[in-house]
Amino acid sequence: MIRSFCGEYKCAADAKGRLLIPSKLRELFPEGESMILVRSLDSCINLYTEEKWRSFEEKIFTLPETEARDVRRFFYASMQDVEPDGQGRVLIPAGLREYANIEKTVVVLGCGDHAEIWDEDTYRRYISENRTSSIEEILKRNGL
């Protein structure tokens, strides 16, 4: 069984802002554990397990105070812990839906240590930009 968030899933948010988290991703959350939603630097929402969020959070707290203030404000102001209902849906708070422009059709992406929740049109525009050359450069620069 893969223990990382992976894959691309097309989903729909309902009129109340509830989103069915794909079962392959729900499997990565321990029973009874909250899911952490927080805005991303991109126009999407990041979804973390509590363990993965704590790992990211520890890194935030190692930043110099002058840099950490803005970083903390950005992430903690939007952070929500949510629990899936009996059908595996989570309610995405209105502020996060507005930030990510989520209305109906959503793409959920696995990104290794977390998942991303995107408005489908925003995501399609994002990937339509030729990013392959920049990814290739990053890989080369880091010996991959």
* CA proximity to 35, closest of 73, 13, 70, 5: 5
For residue 129, the model assigns a pLDDT of 76
Q: What is the pLDDT along the chain (144 residues), one digit of tens a residue?
A: 457 898 999 999 999 999 999 989 998 888 888 999 999 999 999 999 999 999 999 999 999 988 889 999 999 999 999 999 988 899 999 999 999 999 999 999 999 999 999 999 999 998 887 666 677 787 888 887
Decide if 88 contacts 21 (C-beta within 8 A).
Answer: yes
- Alpha-carbon distance 12 to 101, whole Å? 13
What's the pTM? 0.89
With both helix axes pointing from N to C terminus, report the angle between 50-60 and 65-76 in degrees, rounded to the nearest 10. 150
For residue 30, the model assigns a pLDDT of 86
Q: Which residue has the tokens 């049109």?
A: 121
For residue 132, the model assigns a pLDDT of 67
- Alpha-carbon distance 79 to 105, whole Å? 22
- Please list the residues that pair with 19 across neighbouring strands: 13, 90
Domains and CATH numbers, the chain: 8-141 (3.40.1550.20)
For residue 32, the model assigns a pLDDT of 81
User: For the chain, how far is it from start to end, CA to CA, in angstroms?
Assistant: 25
For residue 2, the model assigns a pLDDT of 55
